[in-house]
Amino acid sequence: MTTQARFIALEGGEGVGKSTLMRGLVVWLASKGIEVKQTREPGGTPIADEIRKIFKSPPTGDEITPETEALLVSAARAQHVSKVIKPALSQGRWVLCDRFSDSTRVYQGLFGGVALNDLEWLIRFSTGGVEPDLTFLLDCDVAVSHSRIGGRGSAMNDDDSARYDQGGHQVLERLRQGYRKVAGFYPSRFFLLDASKSSEEVLIDACKELERRWKL
Ligand code: TMP
């Protein structure tokens, strides 16, 4: 099938099932003959992956500020957009990205306290105006995501799911509400998925939206 290349981002707080949905979407799109570039943020290029390491595991004793976080993810994003996302789209490949600029709006902005106006400037500068055509927001009650994070066991220890989970339900709830607010700023770009459903059902809901939106 020949279709226009699309850029799709998956967003949501910790433990909502983005990775599982990503795997399912890649298989489903491939069944339609659509070639997908799968990527994630922060990361996606060797430089951006190095920045990810600092971002996810900052040296102890030097607490990272939300402003520094915003600059780090923006530097990684600038590299990622120009070296991976734009080239893939211009070659006609679809891009599926686990997190993009809305993570910055929520984590550094609404959660971290960096002014959204400043972030908008940074986002424009780092992306050159590239935005997802569609953003799936995986949204569920924090009791569900909390128990899923717990289920990851020891993998959590070097993962910043642990960082955000330390504050427990309250932090997850703030992230959830942050995402719902950002989704309200861009209603035509966002599609909310009920992530409390089974992973199979979430995938079906996402595929139905792709069929509806782009007649796949
Ligand atoms: P993940 O790849 O396991 O989702 O981890 C990425 C972490 O980085 C997650 O806690 C969200 C955070 N993050 C930000 O704080 N700002 C951003 O702009 C991005 C892309 C991610």
> Counting atoms of ligand 1 from 1, which one is nearest the CA of 18?
4
Task: Please indicate whether residue 80, judged by its CB atom, sits closer than 6 Å to ligand 1.
Answer: no
Q: Collapse the DSSP code of 198 into the 3-class scheme (helix H, G, I; strand E, B; otherwise coil) and give the result.
A: coil
Using pLDDT thresholds of 50, 70 and 90, give the confidence band for residue 59: very high
Task: Please indicate whether residue 107, judged by its CB atom, sits closer than 6 Å to ligand 1.
Answer: yes
Task: Please indicate whether residue 105, judged by its CB atom, sits closer than 6 Å to ligand 1.
Answer: no
Look at residue 120 and tell me whether its pLDDT is greater than 90: yes
Arithmetic mean of pLDDT, 67-71: 98
25 within some domain = yes
Separation of alpha carbons 116 and 109, rounded Å: 6
Tens of pLDDT, residue by residue over 186-198, are 999 999 999 999 9
Number of domains, the chain: 1
Task: Please indicate whether residue 49, judged by its CB atom, sits closer than 6 Å to ligand 1.
Answer: no
* Domain extent at residue 89: 7-214
- The alpha helices in the chain, defined as continuous H runs, are 18-31, 46-56, 66-80, 86-90, 101-103, 116-127, 142-151, 160-165, 168-185, 199-214
Look at residue 110 and tell me whether its pLDDT is greater than 70: yes
1 within some domain = no
Q: Does residue 12 come out as left (phi exceeding 0), alpha (psi in the -120 to 50 range) or beta? A: left
Three state DSSP letters for 80-116: HHHHHHHHHHHCCCEEEEECCHHHHHHHHHHHCCCCH
Tens of pLDDT, residue by residue over 8-47, are 999 999 889 999 999 999 999 999 999 999 999 999 999 9
2 within some domain = no
DSSP bridge partners of 136: 10, 191
The residue whose CA is least distant from atom 13 of ligand 1 is: 103
Ligand 1 centroid to residue 41 C-alpha, Å = 7
Arithmetic mean of pLDDT, 193-206: 98
146 within some domain = yes
Contact residues for 65 (Cβ-Cβ < 8 A; gap 6+)? none
Report how far apart the first and last C-alpha atoms of the chain are (Å, whole number): 9
Query: What's the CATH number where 92 sits?
Result: 3.40.50.300
Separation of alpha carbons 43 and 207, rounded Å: 26
The residue whose CA is least distant from atom 16 of ligand 1 is: 104
> Counting atoms of ligand 1 from 1, which one is nearest the CA of 159?
3
**pLDDT value of residue 166:** 63
Look at residue 157 and tell me whether its pLDDT is greater than 80: no
